[in-house]
Amino acid sequence: MSAFLGLVRIIVPLAAGIAVGYFLRGRQPSLDKILSGSILALIFCLGFSIGSNNEFLDALPHVGVASTVLLASAIIFSIAFVKIARRILKI
């Protein structure tokens, strides 16, 4: 039941946004400030959640090393695949 409620919490705002966007086609206000404020609020909430979780803060050094390795691998392989694709497609 909680999985269903979690899904509803995502689908209802998404459907509401689609409906509002549909009815405001052509009259779209500038949403840059609203979106920027919303993103900053989400980042703040994420930071607050991380800062208040003692277990996560204790595990942060190990998570940081794993994240760095994952990030470096993603960047290296992305660059390698782009170079390979460019050679194959002759771009």
Average pLDDT over residues 12-17: 92
Residue % of the chain over a pLDDT of 70: 97
- Residue 10 identity: I
Mean pLDDT of 63-83: 93
Q: What is the pTM of this model?
A: 0.48
Single-letter amino acid code for the residue at 90:
K
Q: Given this model, what pLDDT does residue 44 score? A: 95
| Of the candidates 18, 21, 37, the residue with the CA atom closest to the CA atom of residue 29 | 21
